[in-house]
Structures are given as C-alpha cells and as structure tokens.
Amino acid sequence: MTILDTAQLPALRVAGRTLVPTAAMRSYWALAAERQAIFFRRLRGEQPPWTSNQVLATHRFTNAYRASDRVSQYLINDVIYGAPTDERSTVLRVLLFKIFNRIETWRFLEAAVGRVTIDTFDAAYLAELLDARMAQGERLYSAAYIMPSPKLGATRKHANHLRLLDELLADGTVDRVLETASLRELYEVLVGVHSFGPFLAFQFAIDLNYSELFGFSEMDFVVAGPGAHDGIAKCFSNARGLSTEDIIRAVTDSAADQFDAAGIEFDSLWGRPLQLVDCQNLFCEVSKYARVAHPELAGRSGRKQIKQRYSPTSATLEVGYPPKWGLPLRAPSLRQRLEHDAPTVQVADDPAAVGVADLSPYPESAQHGLFDLP
C-alpha cells in the first residue's frame, strides 16, 4: 500500500477550521482500501494470506462497509430477508437479534420456538430458555457492544432485555418506529428507549433501515461512537472542539478525492460509495490500527494494543445485500432459502453476471472468520 504524504491530501474544512492530518489519516485511506481488497479476494475464493500488511493479517478488523460484516450479513440474509413477516414482527426480530448481537443465541432461540414473530414472542419463556443456556456455560451476548441492563425487575440482564421488548410492543414504540419519516427520526424514537443510549440507538436505526420497511439514505445522519472519537483524535491534530459527526461527513464527502490524491485504488461495493456509517466505523478501525502502526499517537482511549488476534480460515465467503440497494449480490428470497436453489456466489468480470448469494445454511466455519466486530 503506497501512501503519499498528508500534505498531498485535499484540505478538509469543518466549521471554518482546516483540519491538520496526521500519519494515521494516511493509514485511514490505505486501511479502507486494503480491507476492501481483502473482502474481494475472499469473495473470489482466493486462499490466505489475503494481504501482505502484517497488522491486518494478524488482527481482526471490520470490513470497509458495515453491511459486509459477518453479523450484519446474518441480520440481512437470515433475520430480515430470510424470514419475511409482518412489519411489527420485522422490527421485533431486528431488535431482538441486535440486543444480543450473537448469531448462536438467535439460532438457539429459533430452534426452540420456531420463527420469532409478535405472535410467538413470549418474554418469560425465552428468558427461561436463556437461563438454561447460561447454566450450560454458553455466552448470550456479543462483545461488540456493551449492553446495559434496563431496570425492569428481573434479576438477570437477558430477562430485563426481553421484558423491554415486551414493553416496546405494548407501549406503541414499535408503531412509532414504523411511522418515522427519516433516519434521524428513527434514531430519535430509539434513543428514547431507556438503556439504549445514542450510539446503540444509531446502530439499531441502521440495522432496521436494511429492511424494506424504510428507504432512508445512509448519508442522512450519523452518530459517532467512542472508537470513532478516538480515531479522529489520532487522525487530526487539531480536531478538538469540532463536531465529530461534522468531521465524519467532511471525510465521507471527500473520499473519492482523498483516494485519488493519495494514489490509492479503492474498489467500491459495486459502485456504492462509502456511507457515513462506514466512515464512522473506519475511524474506529484506524483507532485500533494506529495502536500498532502509529504508537506515538495517543488518541483519547490510551489503549496500546489490539486485543483480538486473527487466524484465517478457508471458509467460502457468501454475501447478500438489501435488494433496494440495487447491488448484484442481493439477499435471497424465502423461497430460495427453503428450496436451497440460490446459486453459489462467483465473482465475474461483469458484476451484472453475478448471481444471488447462497446463504442457506450459513457455514459454521464462517462464523468465526474475518468479520467479527471489535
């Protein structure tokens, strides 16, 4: 990855201030391009190693596009499009899956009760099932997000979260979600739910927006998480006091010019440019990357090491995206999933020649691959 000096990158101005990039900002663009290149190498069926960059080869990083990550792919292709149902049930399914954010927990619940809908959702019974799973030593939650427990009277966190979902169905919150007219409005309904918080509410809004229930642009609105705040502090020496969200928008809007000026070739997601949520995530990833590549940049967190190591597998990478995006790899229909008749992904020179991703069943070995969230 050849990276030019930061002086050659186009200037970014936010609130009348010209941002001063550091060496980490050079790495930001190179990280985005190389991580996307790794994604396509895996999709083509190439065998590891997929990169000569030792930081990326030995540590876990998310994809350049959030929707390409393992958990997002499962949400899109199994939770949303793999089991089409009524509108309120779709909202319930997305929130239930994302609260735990763990594929194994979701599979366990659906194996026990069948397809989760508002008619089959029984908070007390699901809590008993998860009690038993915990007693067997199984984890219920992903480590990707810190999920605080709502105070709803239960002893265990998972029981309180299930009671919370019951409450959202009963108090009209789910109906208000369905009535929203923008990504910001969707976020504002979710951030009003006790225990969610701003960053989680934004992530859940993005997850719901993958469905056909909403048609909001991912360029409408963004909320930065702690990792992005740390990454921006490492990428710009004079960012303090500026809106993190304004910086993310300026970076996203200038991405094509930045790649060109740096001499970095970026292969987009079949013409879909990086969105606000993707560039937010990349700031989180460059925050981690800089701990090894630029240890002299302290940032805000003070962390010195990347915890999660990565060991490549040869598992076939299979992906599908929301049909409304118009990409060649679309989420499979329920009929395709039930009949197992979707063709296996093969990347052709002509993207239009690529078939629908075969995601039934999702390979167990792929669940522990490159796409875990940090």
Residues 140 and 73 in one domain: no
Give one DSSP letter per residue of 178-228, joined into a string.
HT--SHHHHHHHHHTSTTT-HHHHHHHHHHHHTSTT----TTS-----HHH
Q: Specify the DSSP class assigned to residue 363.
A: P
Residues 226 and 327 in one domain: yes
Max Cα–Cα distance, the chain, nearest Å = 60
Q: Are 174 and 167 in contact (CB under 8 A)?
A: no
Q: State the average pLDDT over residues 33-49.
A: 95
Backbone angles phi, psi at 87, to 5 degrees: -60, -45
Task: For residue 78, give the nearest of 192, 207, 256 by alpha carbon.
Answer: 207
Could you report the per-residue pLDDT of 163-200, keeping only the tens digit for each?
999 999 999 999 999 999 999 999 999 999 999 999 99
Residues 238 and 312 in one domain: yes
Radius of gyration of the CA atoms of the chain, in A: 21
Residues 290 and 364 in one domain: yes
Cβ neighbour number for residue 5 with a 10 Å cutoff:
10
Residues 157 and 290 in one domain: no
Distance CA 57, CA 49 (A): 7
Task: For residue 115, give the nearest of 134, 151, 89 by alpha carbon.
Answer: 89
CA 174, distance to chain mean position in Å, is: 22
Domain boundary among 209, 243, 261: 209
Residues 153 and 8 in one domain: no
Q: Is residue 356 predicted with pLDDT exceeding 50?
A: no
Residues 61 and 157 in one domain: no
Q: Is residue 220 predicted with pLDDT exceeding 90?
A: yes
Residues 21 and 127 in one domain: no
State the burial class of residue 76 (Cβ atoms within 10 Å of its Cβ: 0-12, 13-18, 19+): buried
Q: Specify the pLDDT at position 342.
A: 37
Q: Specify the pLDDT at position 193.
A: 97
Q: Show the tokens assigned to 266.
A: 């970026």
Distance CA 274, CA 139 (A): 33
Q: Is residue 14 predicted with pLDDT exceeding 80?
A: yes
Q: Specify the pLDDT at position 346.
A: 36
Residues 162 and 228 in one domain: no
State the pairing for strand pair 13-14/17-18.
Answer: antiparallel
Q: Specify the DSSP class assigned to residue 18.
A: E
Q: Indicate the pTM of the whole model.
A: 0.87
Residues 99 and 226 in one domain: no
Domain boundary among 152, 183, 209: 209
Q: Are 343 and 355 in contact (CB under 8 A)?
A: yes
Domain boundary among 209, 231, 250: 209
Q: Are 35 and 63 in contact (CB under 8 A)?
A: yes
- Residue 146 CB contacts under 8 Å (≥ 6 apart), including other chains: none
Assign 5 a pLDDT band (cuts: 50, 70, 90): low
Residues 266 and 352 in one domain: yes
Residues 285 and 365 in one domain: yes
Distance CA 24, CA 6 (A): 9
Q: What angle do CA 10, 11, 12 make, to 5 degrees?
A: 115
As for how many domains the chain has, the answer is: 2
Domain range for residue 285?
A: 1-81+216-374
